[in-house]
Amino acid sequence: MRRTGVYAGGAYITGEPEYFYAPFNVQPANFEEIDRLPEGARADGALTLFGNAHLQLTETPNQLADRFEYDGNLYEISTADEWPSHNRYVATKVTQ
């Protein structure tokens, strides 16, 4: 799910999410990948995704990170390693 929006009057107004299909190999994140995450995101669990699609990160200016549902939980893309042949993303569980 790609979340979009615009800045208006100094506030970010979220638009309707865009849903898209992107196949990924999903695995539990290893210790080194978890260690690279911000401290507050480490406790809730993380997944590593391998695939060809390009996903938005939390660090992308003026955009919100892409989210996806896996095994009944909502995850958000946190870090990326992008190469010409494939991409690796680490996603953290969204706690609401």
Indicate the domain borders of the chain. 20-93
Rounded to 5°, the CA angle 76-13-43 comes to 25
- What pLDDT shows up at residue 25? 96
- What pLDDT shows up at residue 6? 76
Q: What mean pLDDT value characterizes the chain? A: 86
Q: Would the pLDDT of 52 be above 90? A: yes
Reduced to 3 states (helix: H, G, I; strand: E, B; else coil), residue 39 is helix
- What pLDDT shows up at residue 35? 85
